[in-house]
Amino acid sequence: MSLENKVAIITGAARGIGFAVAKRFVADGAKVVIADVDDEAGEAAAEDLKSQGEAMYIHCNVAERLDVRNLVAETLNAYGDIDVLVNNAGIVVGADFLDLEEEDFERVLSINLKGAFLCSQAVARHMVEKVQNGGEPGCIVNMSSVNSVLAIPNQIPYCVSKGGMSQLTKTTALSLAQYGIRVNAIGPGSIMTEMLASVNSDPAAKNRILSRTPMLRVGEPSEIASVAAFLASSDASYVTGQTIFADGGRMPLNYTVAVPDDA
Ligand SMILES: NC(=O)c1ccc[n+]([C@@H]2O[C@H](COP(=O)([O-])OP(=O)(O)OC[C@H]3O[C@@H](n4cnc5c(N)ncnc54)[C@H](O)[C@@H]3O)[C@@H](O)[C@H]2O)c1
């Protein structure tokens, strides 16, 4: 198995894409730490995975430095190492530009972008020390978005945070390359999770999304998890500083595609 005995922290893994990544990593042999702020869902997610392998839940608000420090310490205490970090925790706050509150701008940036920085720095300090003591280099996978490049006018802090994620991925990759530590990102298109819940019940919203998706379907969380599994494995041993878009063809598309009635 490609992640046999590797220790992986996945933030925001109580549900959605993060949980799918946790499930895939456990199936690939990893010991997984689910880090989230939703304690009930996080504990339940860890219980679910324990039937297939090793998993535990640790409460962590990624925007809080002390929570992140505790996450690293508790993981090292439980599993003795950290090989993989997946910075997946993220939120959205929709508002028109002229109405957007400063507080909401700061909240999204502090979770989606600063949180990834805090977790990356704390975990990288452990990874670098390990390499300096003769150990194997680890890797980091950031959950970015097509919105790191494409913009939505009423999702300002979200798009800004994901644009920042692209540069965080590149700067971290360059800083850690000398140690053999790889840093990459995934840019999902529209994936069926709670973040996209409104689409399920709104045919017009679904049509809008599919008209910008040449594969004419929304993606599944497991289709993002498989990209994370590749990036975290030694199959990606010479890949660093990249964002891989898994988006059903959205990024190359100009204009829109026709959506059949039964799509
Ligand atoms: N669903 C999509 O279509 C889509 C598309 C592109 C990118 N993404 C990205 O994928 C990631 C996961 O999205 P999702 O759709 O699974 O979302 P989701 O809302 O289903 O899950 C997000 C998880 O993050 C947790 N979380 C929120 N704030 C946190 C914090 N401060 N600290 C720790 N955990 C926190 C939530 O409790 C939840 O478990 C996000 O970074 C998102 O931007 C999603």
Domain assignment present for residue 76? The answer is yes
Out of 158, 179, 238, 255, which one is annotated catalytic?
158
Mean pLDDT of the chain: 97
| pLDDT tens per residue, range 104-148 | 999 999 999 999 999 999 999 999 999 999 999 999 999 999 999
CA of 111 to the centre of ligand 1 (A): 10
Domain assignment present for residue 257? The answer is no
Decide: 75 and 82 in contact? Cβ < 8 Å.
Answer: yes
CA distance 207 to 23: 30
Give, using CA atoms, the residue closest to atom 11 of ligand 1: 88
Give the position, in ligand 1's atom list, of the atom nearest the Cα of 111.
31
| CB-side neighbour CA atoms (13 Å) of 123 | 33
Average pLDDT over residues 236-256: 98
68 to 46, 63, 198: CA distances (angstroms) = 19, 8, 31
CA distance 70 to 74: 6
CA distance 86 to 104: 24
Give the CATH number of the domain where residue 182 resides.
3.40.50.720
160 membership: H or E segment, kind and range: helix 156-176
Check residue 176 and give its pLDDT.
99
CA of 134 to the centre of ligand 1 (A): 35
| pLDDT tens per residue, range 197-232 | 777 788 899 999 999 999 999 999 999 999 999 999
pLDDT above 70 as % of the chain: 100
| pLDDT tens per residue, range 174-204 | 999 999 999 999 999 999 998 887 777 888 9
Give, using CA atoms, the residue closest to atom 24 of ligand 1: 12
Check residue 200 and give its pLDDT.
76
Residue that is written with structure tokens 């860890």 in the block: 46
187 membership: H or E segment, kind and range: strand 182-188
Query: pTM for the whole thing?
Result: 0.98
- The amino acid at residue 66 is L
Check residue 103 and give its pLDDT.
98
Q: Is 57 a catalytic residue?
A: no
Please, which pLDDT band fits residue 170 given cuts at 50, 70 and 90? Answer: very high
37 to 11, 17, 186: CA distances (angstroms) = 9, 15, 22
Check residue 13 and give its pLDDT.
98
Domain assignment present for residue 64? The answer is yes
Q: 117: closest CA among 157, 162, 69, 62?
A: 62
Q: Order across the sheet with 84-87: list the strands.
A: 55-59, 31-36, 7-11, 84-87, 139-143, 182-188, 243-246
CA of 21 to the centre of ligand 1 (A): 12
Residue that is written with structure tokens 């599944």 in the block: 220
Domain assignment present for residue 75? The answer is yes
pLDDT at residue 262 greater than cutoff 90: no
Q: What's the farthest any 2 CA atoms get from each other in the chain? A: 60
| pLDDT tens per residue, range 49-64 | 999 999 999 999 999 9
The token pair at 198 is 């409104």
Decide: 168 and 119 in contact? Cβ < 8 Å.
Answer: no
CA of 159 to the centre of ligand 1 (A): 14
pLDDT at residue 92 greater than cutoff 80: yes
Give the position, in ligand 1's atom list, of the atom nearest the Cα of 144.
7
Check residue 143 and give its pLDDT.
98
Counted domains in the chain: 1
Domain assignment present for residue 262? The answer is no
Domain assignment present for residue 122? The answer is yes
- Residue 136 has what DSSP assignment? -
Please, which pLDDT band fits residue 171 given cuts at 50, 70 and 90? Answer: very high
pLDDT at residue 1 greater than cutoff 80: no
| pLDDT tens per residue, range 68-89 | 999 999 999 999 999 999 999 9
Domain interval for residue 131: 7-246
Domain assignment present for residue 254? The answer is no
Domain assignment present for residue 61? The answer is yes
Give the position, in ligand 1's atom list, of the atom nearest the Cα of 147.
6
CA distance 240 to 169: 9
Pocket of ligand 1 (CB under 6 A): 11-12, 14-18, 36-38, 60-63, 88-91, 111, 143, 145, 188, 190-191, 193-196
